[in-house]
Chain A
Amino acid sequence: MSRTRTVATWTTAVLAAAALAGCAESDRDEGSGGSGGSGSGSDATFVFGAAGAPEMFDPFYATDGETFRVTRQMFEGLLGIEPGSAEVVPELATEWTPNEDGTEWTFTLRDDVTFHDGEPFNAEAVCYNFERMFDQNDAGQVAGEYWGYVMGAFANDADNSLYQGCEATGEFEAVVTISGPTSGFPTMLTLESLSMQSPKALEEGDANGIAAEGEGFSFPEYADNPVGTGPFTFGEYDEANGTISLERNDDYWGEAAKVSELVFRVIPDESTRRQELEAGSINGYDLPNPVDWNALEESGNTVEIRDAFNILYMGFNPDTNPQLQDLKVRQALNLAINREQLVQTQLPEGAEVATQFMPKTVSGYNTELAAPEYDPERAQELLAEAGAEGMTLTFAYPTEVSRPYMPDPQKLYEALRTDLEAVGVKVDVKTASWNGGYLDNVTAGKYDAYILGWTGDYDSPFNFIGTFFGNLKENDFGTSAMPWGKQLADDLKAADAIVDEAERSAAFEEINAQIMEDYLPGLPISHSPPALVVGPGVEGVIPSPLTAEEFDSVTVSGE
Chain B
Amino acid sequence: MLRFVLRRLLQMLGVVLALSLLVFFWLRSLPGGPVSALLGERATPERRARMEEALGLDEPLPVQYLRYMQRALRGDFGVSTKVLPGEDALDIFFARLPATIELAFFALAIAILLGIPLGYLAARRRGTALDNTAVIFSLVGVAVPVFFTGFLLKYFFAVEWDLLPVSGRQSTGLDATRVTGLFVLDGIMTREWDAAWDALKHLVLPAVALATIPFAVIFRITRASVLDVLDEDYVRTAEAKGLTARVIRGRHVLRNAMLPVVTTVGLQVGALLGGAILTETVFSIRGIGDALATAFRDKDYPVLQVLIIAAAAIYVLVNLMVDIAYALIDPRIRTR
Q: Which residues of B contact A276 (CB under 8 A)?
A: 166-167
CB–CB A212/B36 < 8 A? no
CB–CB A11/B114 < 8 A? yes
Alpha-carbon gap, A177 to B317, bound state (A): 63
CB–CB A4/B130 < 8 A? yes
Determine whether A33 belongs to the interface, using a CB cutoff of 8 Å to chain B. Answer: yes
Determine whether B145 belongs to the interface, using a CB cutoff of 8 Å to chain A. Answer: no
Q: How near does chain A come to B154, taking the closest CB pair, in angstroms?
A: 5
Determine whether A387 belongs to the interface, using a CB cutoff of 8 Å to chain B. Answer: no
Interface centre among A261, A278, A453 (most CB of B within 10 A): A278
CB–CB B117/A7 < 8 A? yes
Determine whether A78 belongs to the interface, using a CB cutoff of 8 Å to chain B. Answer: no
For window 260-291 of chain A, which residues contact chain B by CB distance below 8 Å? 261, 263, 265-269, 271-272, 275-276, 278-279, 281
Which residue of the partner chain, among A21, A28, A216, A452, contacts B80 with CB atoms under 8 Å? A216
Q: Which residues of A contact B283 (CB under 8 A)?
A: 272
Alpha-carbon gap, A278 to B154, bound state (A): 11
- Per the CB 8 Å criterion, the residue count for chain B at the interface is 89
Determine whether B44 belongs to the interface, using a CB cutoff of 8 Å to chain A. Answer: yes
CB–CB B201/A27 < 8 A? yes
Q: Which residues of A contact B282 (CB under 8 A)?
A: 269, 272
Q: How near does chain B come to A275, taking the closest CB pair, in angstroms?
A: 5
For window 26-49 of chain A, which residues contact chain B by CB distance below 8 Å? 26-28, 30-33, 38, 45, 47
Q: Which of B2-10, B81-89, B227-235, B258-266 contacts A (4 or more CB under 8 A)?
A: B81-89
CB–CB B31/A432 < 8 A? yes
CB–CB A279/B158 < 8 A? yes
CB–CB A266/B286 < 8 A? yes
Q: How near does chain A come to B100, taking the closest CB pair, in angstroms?
A: 11
Alpha-carbon gap, A21 to B165, bound state (A): 12
Determine whether B188 belongs to the interface, using a CB cutoff of 8 Å to chain A. Answer: no
Q: Which residues of B contact A341 (CB under 8 A)?
A: none
Determine whether B25 belongs to the interface, using a CB cutoff of 8 Å to chain A. Answer: no
CB–CB A213/B78 < 8 A? yes
Determine whether B270 belongs to the interface, using a CB cutoff of 8 Å to chain A. Answer: no
CB–CB B118/A27 < 8 A? no
- Per the CB 8 Å criterion, the residue count for chain A at the interface is 85
CB–CB B169/A440 < 8 A? no
Residue of A nearest to B154 (CB): A275
Q: Do A212 and B44 contact each other (CB < 8 Å), given the known contacts A242-B286, A269-B281?
A: no
CB–CB A239/B286 < 8 A? yes
Q: Which residues of B contact A145 (CB under 8 A)?
A: 38-39, 42, 47
Q: Do A439 and B36 contact each other (CB < 8 Å), given the known contacts A214-B78, A240-B181, A265-B284?
A: yes
Q: Do A22 and B201 contact each other (CB < 8 Å), given the known contacts A4-B125, A142-B51, A212-B54?
A: yes
Q: How near does chain B come to A15, taking the closest CB pair, in angstroms?
A: 10
CB–CB A440/B33 < 8 A? yes
Determine whether A243 belongs to the interface, using a CB cutoff of 8 Å to chain B. Answer: yes
Alpha-carbon gap, A281 to B198, bound state (A): 14
Q: Which residues of B contact A149 (CB under 8 A)?
A: 42
Residue of B nearest to A65 (CB): B40
Alpha-carbon gap, A213 to B301, bound state (A): 13
Q: How near does chain B come to A234, taking the closest CB pair, in angstroms?
A: 16
Which residue of the partner chain, among A30, A239, A275, A441, contacts B155 with CB atoms under 8 Å? A275
CB–CB A436/B38 < 8 A? no
Which residue of the partner chain, among A4, A213, A216, contacts B121 with CB atoms under 8 Å? A4
Residue of B nearest to A239 (CB): B95
Determine whether A115 belongs to the interface, using a CB cutoff of 8 Å to chain B. Answer: no
Q: Which of A103-111, A217-225, A330-338 contacts B (4 or more CB under 8 A)?
A: A217-225
CB–CB A435/B299 < 8 A? yes
Alpha-carbon gap, A21 to B159, bound state (A): 16
The interface bits of chain B over 288-304 (1 if a CB of A lies within 8 angstroms of the residue's CB, else 0) are: 00100110011101100
Q: Which residues of B contact A294 (CB under 8 A)?
A: none
Alpha-carbon gap, A319 to B302, bound state (A): 36
CB–CB B32/A438 < 8 A? yes
Q: Do A453 and B78 contact each other (CB < 8 Å), given the known contacts A268-B290, A435-B36?
A: no
Q: Which residues of B contact A261 (CB under 8 A)?
A: 173
Q: Do A22 and B162 contact each other (CB < 8 Å), given the known contacts A30-B174, A240-B181?
A: yes
Q: Do A32 and B284 contact each other (CB < 8 Å), given the known contacts A22-B163, A215-B57?
A: no
Q: Which residues of B contact A502 (CB under 8 A)?
A: none
CB–CB A439/B40 < 8 A? yes
CB–CB A23/B163 < 8 A? yes
Determine whether A326 belongs to the interface, using a CB cutoff of 8 Å to chain B. Answer: no
Query: Can you name 14 A-B pairs with beta carbons within 8 Å?
Result: A32-B174, A53-B84, A56-B85, A63-B40, A215-B55, A216-B85, A217-B54, A240-B169, A242-B169, A266-B284, A272-B154, A272-B282, A435-B298, A439-B43
